[in-house]
């Protein structure tokens, strides 16, 4: 299977990072869904799990907790120091100041999306989503009997952007809630402060509530040109609730360690707001239905936030290298495919519409290339025109496996 000279040199430059040694047979032997969902001849580049092993500090914290022999109920507020660790991290890394009582532990972000829909909008009241976006945004609205209102993002020079004019038109007297994803899944956008401030102006003018999914906040890669090279501009995650006191009072933020530290199976996240009345409403809605994270997830979170940043920094560097390889390969070898450089996450939103595949891109590539991607239609299925020409690719794997998957895609698309 041919590769460009530059990419051959990149792939064959030696095992300089432990993640380079990840073997397909090792990944297929794991019990998790990523490598067991498709047949064994399919390279899995879909669900948002990294193939990388978690930090040793996290694994040690979990095994030490089990070895201590106490798997009883944790305190109602969580393990000692847990909420303080979350607050410290948000303040130090992202400039969001919160108190421990502003936080509520949850078994993941999806329960937080559902709680937000049930608490911040009444039956048949409007909830705005901005596709393409993480599919549970839509299912949370539908599942809670709220009116799903689409305000699709639009493509600009930098990538996918808010359509503020469309948002103004979408707001009705019955509209209550705006759902925000930042860093954005699946497009990889990390929205600038000025973009978020413009969005906040609309929110405040119409007195909307906002639920801001910021699960990928610790996975900011920075800017890159189409060839993978840095364009010299540093990007930082800006929490929506950090835009000002009035915005903070109307915002419920969802955050957690599971994506950045690759522990999604432990099921933990945090809902937070400076609005104490809002947090009390959320706790009442969750009571008896939504538990806090289990004790092993809490122990893992403490280890991640107190001891895991060295692992995270190394992982981000590796992801930047994978992103560079992906962007260069796409530009050189996939002329019919468009890709805006993802600024955050480890997800790439590939546009195959120029390849004239004659159907959903992910279905075509699964059948012909034996590469498993997430289908674009899942990220906004009711849109016209639809998103069937798009597919989401997870590039958090070994560079060699990534290049194998891209090579299969290239060979399938080449006449």
Half-sphere exposure of 220 (CA within 13 A, CB side): 19
Q: Mention every residue, 6+ apart, whose C-beta is less than 8 A from residue 248.
A: 241, 242, 273, 274, 275
Q: Is the dihedral of CA 162, 163, 166, 168 positive or negative?
A: positive
CA dist 344 and 346 (Å) reads 7
Residue-wise pLDDT for 117-129, tens only, equals 999 999 989 999 9
Residue-wise pLDDT for 16-52, tens only, equals 789 999 999 999 999 999 999 999 999 999 999 999 9
The pLDDT value recorded for residue 231 is: 67
The mean pLDDT value of the chain amounts to 93
**Of 390, 35, 93, the residue nearest 220 (C-alpha):** 93
State pTM to two decimals: 0.94
Q: Mention every residue, 6+ apart, whose C-beta is less than 8 A from residue 79.
A: 295, 298, 299, 302
Residue 277, exposed/middle/buried by CB under 10 A (0-12, 13-18, 19+)? Answer: exposed
pLDDT category at 1 given cuts 50, 70, 90 is: very low
Residue-wise pLDDT for 54-107, tens only, equals 999 999 999 999 999 999 999 999 999 999 999 999 999 999 999 999 999 999
* Six token digits for residue 362: 């992910």
Is the predicted pLDDT of residue 328 greater than 80, yes or no? yes
Residue-wise pLDDT for 375-401, tens only, equals 999 999 877 778 999 999 999 999 999
């Amino acid at each position: 299977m041919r590769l460009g000279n530059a990419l051959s040199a990149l792939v064959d430059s030696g095992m300089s990072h432990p993640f380079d040694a990840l073997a397909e047979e090792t990944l297929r032997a794991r019990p998790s869904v990523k490598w067991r969902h498709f047949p064994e001849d399919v390279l899995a580049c879909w669900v948002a799990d990294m193939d990388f092993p978690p930090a040793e500090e996290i694994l040690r914290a979990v095994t030490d907790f089990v070895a201590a022999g106490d798997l009883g109920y944790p305190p109602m507020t969580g393990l000692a120091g847990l909420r303080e660790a979350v607050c410290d991290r948000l303040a130090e890394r992202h400039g969001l100041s919160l108190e421990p009582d502003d936080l509520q532990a949850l078994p993941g972000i999806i329960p937080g999306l559902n709680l937000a829909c049930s608490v911040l909008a009444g039956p048949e009241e409007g909830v705005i989503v901005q596709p393409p976006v993480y599919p549970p945004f839509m299912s949370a609205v539908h599942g809670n009997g709220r009116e799903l209102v689409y305000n699709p993002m639009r493509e600009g020079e930098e990538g996918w952007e808010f359509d503020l004019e469309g948002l103004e038109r979408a707001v009705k007297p019955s509209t209550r809630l705006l759902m925000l994803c930042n860093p954005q899944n699946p497009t990889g956008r990390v929205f600038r402060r000025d973009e978020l401030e413009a969005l906040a102006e609309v929110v405040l003018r119409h007195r909307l509530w906002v639920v801001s999914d910021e699960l990928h906040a610790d996975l900011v890669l920075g800017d890159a040109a189409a060839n993978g090279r840095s364009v010299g501009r540093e990007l930082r995650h800006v929490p929506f609730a950090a835009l000002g006191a009035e915005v903070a009072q109307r915002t419920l933020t969802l955050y957690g360690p599971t994506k950045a530290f690759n522990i999604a199976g432990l099921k933990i996240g945090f809902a937070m707001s400076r609005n104490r009345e809002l947090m009390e409403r959320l706790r009442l809605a969750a009571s008896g239905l939504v538990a806090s994270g289990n004790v092993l997830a809490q122990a893992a979170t403490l280890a991640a936030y107190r001891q895991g940043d060295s692992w995270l920094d190394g992982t981000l560097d590796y992801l930047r290298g994978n992103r560079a390889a992906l962007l260069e390969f796409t530009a050189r070898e996939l002329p019919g495919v468009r890709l805006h450089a993802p600024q955050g996450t480890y997800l790439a939103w590939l546009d195959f519409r120029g390849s004239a595949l004659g159907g959903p891109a992910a279905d075509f590539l699964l059948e012909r290339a034996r590469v498993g991607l997430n289908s674009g239609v899942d990220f906004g299925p009711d849109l016209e025109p639809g998103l069937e020409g798009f597919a989401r690719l997870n590039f958090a794997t070994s560079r060699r496996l990534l290049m194998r998957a891209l090579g299969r895609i290239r060979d399938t698309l080449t006449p």
